[in-house]
């Protein structure tokens, strides 16, 4: 048991207390954001903005550029999503949950590929291709970029991208030494599965 505890938390001995505290706060608000998203509540965005703002600071400090860019993008897309979710489409309704159109699928593919190229250029510039983690970061960044864009558009398929990205991120963050964040993504995986089911139920009911 002691060996498991040391494996999960020993690296925190070298971290500043304020950074550990900030990571825990960011994880809490991250959980709240995903939970509100599952519930289809607008609070997904303000809580998510608090979490991502903290993670941008921490990840920049820890030199994890791919992860930092993901969270910076989340913050920007949260502002956009907040607008989309509250925008009045007609006299009675705001933007509803819906499925992606053919054009949106094309846009999703373009975002995915463009993100791969962008992250590759950034990692190349800062000479960050030091191990396999950099390649995994590149893929998860692209997956999450698409997922966040679809969530902002209130598309049900966003959950599928979150599920895949979260599953990859659990062992990835554990390997990086950020146990609390790894636990966060493990929780995100289960919430994303239930979120997809809840949104699907909502979509079928409205149809």
Give pLDDT tens digits for 142-165.
999 999 999 999 999 999 999 999
Position 174 scores a pLDDT of 87
Q: Which domain holds residue 137?
A: 2-206
36 contacts: CB under 8 Å, gap ≥ 6: 42, 43, 44, 47
**What pTM does this model have?**
0.84
Are residues 45 and 85 in contact, defined by beta-carbon separation less than 8 angstroms? yes
SS3 of residue 58 by DSSP = helix
Total domain count for the chain?
Answer: 1
> What angle do the packed helices 179-206 and 17-38 form, to 10 degrees?
10
Position 149 scores a pLDDT of 95
Position 7 scores a pLDDT of 57
R_g (Cα) of the chain, nearest Å: 17
Position 105 scores a pLDDT of 97
Position 178 scores a pLDDT of 83
Position 87 scores a pLDDT of 75
Q: pLDDT under 70 in the chain at which residues?
A: 1-10, 66, 88-94
């Amino acid at each position: 048991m002691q060996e498991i505890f040391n494996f999960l938390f020993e690296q925190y001995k070298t971290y500043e207390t304020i950074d550990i505290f900030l990571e825990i706060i960011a994880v809490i608000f991250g959980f709240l954001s995903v939970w509100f998203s599952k519930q289809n509540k607008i609070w997904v965005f303000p809580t998510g903005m608090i979490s991502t703002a903290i993670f941008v600071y921490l990840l920049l400090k820890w030199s994890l550029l791919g992860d930092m860019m993901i969270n910076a993008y989340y913050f920007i897309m949260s502002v956009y999503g907040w607008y989309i979710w509250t925008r009045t489409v007609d006299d009675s309704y705001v933007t509803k949950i819906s499925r992606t159109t053919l054009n949106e699928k094309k846009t999703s593919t373009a975002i995915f590929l463009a993100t791969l190229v962008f992250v590759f250029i950034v990692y190349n510039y800062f000479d960050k291709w030091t191990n396999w983690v950099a390649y995994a970061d590149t893929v998860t960044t692209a997956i999450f970029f698409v997922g966040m864009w679809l969530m902002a558009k209130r598309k049900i398929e966003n959950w599928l991208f979150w599920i895949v990205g979260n599953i990859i991120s659990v062992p990835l963050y554990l390997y990086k030494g950020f146990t609390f964040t790894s636990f966060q993504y493990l929780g995100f995986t289960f919430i994303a599965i239930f979120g997809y089911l809840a949104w699907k139920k909502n979509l079928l009911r409205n149809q």
